[in-house]
Structure 1
Amino acid sequence: MTARKTALVVAPGRGTYGKNELGSIARLHGARFADLIAHFDAQRRDRGQPTVSELDGAERFSVATHMRGDVAAPLIYTATVLDYLSIDREKFDVVGALGNSMGWYSALALGGAVSVANGFRISNAMGLNSQTHGPGGQILLQVVDEDWRPVPGLRQTLFALVAAIASRPGHALALSIDLAGMLVFAGNEEGLAALLAEAPPTPGRDPLRLAGHGPFHTPLMVGSSDKAKAELPAALFGTPALPLIDGRGHIWRRFAGDSAAVRDYTFGHQILAPYDFALSVQVAVKEFAPDVIILPGPGDTLGGAIAQSLIAIGWQGIASKADFAARQAADPILLSMGRADQRAAVTGHK
């Protein structure tokens, strides 16, 4: 029998369940995981919310509806967890889990720090709680060129500009998420307007205001943090059965973590401080040296950020987009379950 490949699993965050993913939960998982989907639906129904099945089964994708936090979060969690449960364990030995932003809530369930059912409860509650914040939002800026190499000095220039804007009276602005090749800054409307007006030219795309997103991972989210601590009890949390790598690059070791500390991080630092996704990927590959990285659905938009995180440290000689493409063609290091061919390689089913 062929030896299993070691794998890291990376849970995606907001913005990954889009038009192309509508109906995918029922299509990919409806037969095998009908009971689990029904349990998630019951949790939503008990709260007077449209069910996952109803939202996934809508006639058409609605930005106004499906991109809203209280809808996006349960859809993304469901798709991610069911993909994770579909991984062929005779082919892959999962050695750790991490996530991007709200993907951390999914990672908690993948790693066994919470049950799958309680992970849905947390994600569903946080999708609603994420709308509890001060005025503001997020802006995405690219800092790498077309070959995914850093533009010299651009990252430092942006951080200096953001610090200068944040020092002005009435302006709030800070790093929200580090995606290696892209930076997400968050703040209030005054801070965001100043950044849009004063940002230097960036490659690839103009600065993008992310629709429907609040000032995530900044102190402006204190209302969300307080609400989470009040309504989501410590009893939901245990110690992880798999290593978990959080948004600081900290590793929560299997069977050795403090469940109270995991909860404190999840509803404190994880909400109120920057999420360094690039660092979490880099720490994970250095620590666990996986044969592959598996990206569950929905979608595969996080694949670029994973690749750029590897490029930034020259992982296994991958130093550019061209290097990454060549590696993917010869011996894929990233398997995205949102792509049919790569999904088949992960699940053993077409």
Structure 2
Amino acid sequence: MKKAVLICPGRGTYTKTELGSLARFPRPDLLAHFDARRTALSQETLTALDSAATYSVAKHTRGDNASALIYACTLGDSLTLQGVDIVAVTGNSMGWYSALACAGALTPENGFEVVNTMGTLMQQSLIGGQVIHPFVDENWHPNPMRKAELLAIATEINTRPDHILAPSIDLGGMLVLAGNEAGLKAFESAVPSEQGRFPMRLANHAAFHTALQAPVAAQGRAALPESLFSQPQKPLIDGRGQIWWPGSARTAALYDYTLGHQVTEPYDFTAAIRTAAREFAPDLFIIAGPGTTLGGAVAQSLILSHWQGMASKQDFQSRQTEAPLMISMGLPQQRALVT
């Protein structure tokens, strides 16, 4: 049986092509529970959102809708895995909440409470925003100097009066920055356009993983008790690259990290993948749905980690052709390999 690391995606992965994804959710009773909780909170059900005739950016990317949709899709995919040994679980940004549930530190129901609560609080406040920009070229060659340049620009902008800009997520070959409107606009003006779409503002995203989210973190701690959390059943890799081991993880510390550091400090997804590769040496990296957009960041993170000698996009693609290293459950033909 192949060893695999399960990777849970974050916000921005449920797009128009993902409409209808919950039709394959393996546990109707659990989905009904999620819908009932949403109805009790006067929120549109996940079933209704997922079965909508058309995709609405205004509706489907809202934090109070997107977070719960993504969580349900990810959890559903994790429940259908067969023939692989999951040796560790990690996630990107909001995917950390999904990872907690997939690793058993939260029950599926408690995971939903955490995700739906935090997604709703984020949407109600909607403090700041995010912009994403690459520091690798189109063949994914690492360029540490370019990354340093972009961070230096952000640091300078952050010193200006009424401007806030800070690192948010290290996402493979992408840098996600977050801040207030003045800070984001200044960065967009300071950086030349690349690849016809960067720098790219992320729709309906707040300034995640920065100090601007401190009020949301406090609201989350007030709304969600520590008793929701328990020992993980699988090793968990967080947004610092730290491992939470079954049997030795303190639930109080896990709670504090999840509703503290994870909300207000930068999230290093690249470090999480590096730890997954080097500490667990899996045969496969399985990315749960929805969507397929996290694949590039995972591959770039492996390249940045010098995993199995890969140094470029071409290296990764050659490796994938020989013997798939990465399985994206958002692709039916790849999904079939692990379900």
* Counterparts of residues 194-273 of structure 1 (less than 5 Å): 194-200=186-192, 202-203=194-195, 205-273=197-265
Q: Shift in Å at residue 151 of structure 1?
A: 3.4
Q: Tell me if 1:322 matches 2:318.
A: no
**TM-score of the pair, normalised by structure 1:** 0.95
* Counterparts of residues 1-350 of structure 1 (less than 5 Å): 4-26=1-23, 28-29=24-25, 32-88=26-82, 91-133=83-125, 135-151=127-143, 153-200=145-192, 202-203=194-195, 205-347=197-339
Distance 1:10 1:212 in 2: 23
Residue 123 of structure 1 aligns to a residue in which SS? Answer: helix
* Runs of 4+ off more than 6 Å: none
Q: Aligned-pair RMSD on alpha carbons?
A: 1.2
Residues 133 and 215, structure 1, Cα contact 8 Å, conserved in 2: no
Distance 1:275 1:11 in 2: 14
Q: Shift in Å at residue 206 of structure 1?
A: 2.1
Distance 1:268 1:133 in 2: 17
**TM-score of the pair, normalised by structure 2:** 0.98
The superposition leaves residues 103-126 of structure 1 with CA deviations (integer Å, 9 ceiling, x where unpaired) of: 000000011111111001111111
Distance 2:193 2:50 in 1: 39
Q: Shift in Å at residue 246 of structure 1?
A: 0.4
Q: Shift in Å at residue 58 of structure 1?
A: 0.8
**1:174 alignment partner AA:** A
Residues 5 and 282, structure 2, Cα contact 8 Å, conserved in 1: yes
**1:58 alignment partner AA:** A
Residues 239 and 269, structure 2, Cα contact 8 Å, conserved in 1: yes
Are the structure 2 counterparts of residues 135 and 123 from structure 1 closer, same or farther at C-alpha, using a change threshold of 3 Å? closer
Please, which runs of 5 or more residues in structure 1 have no aligned partner?
none
Moved more, 157-166 or 127-136: 127-136
Q: Shift in Å at residue 131 of structure 1?
A: 2.2
Distance 1:288 1:265 in 2: 22
Q: Shift in Å at residue 100 of structure 1?
A: 0.3
Distance 1:232 1:313 in 2: 36
Aligned residue pair count: 339
Distance 1:86 1:97 in 2: 15
Please, which runs of 5 or more residues in structure 2 have no aligned partner?
none
Residues 127 and 213, structure 2, Cα contact 8 Å, conserved in 1: no
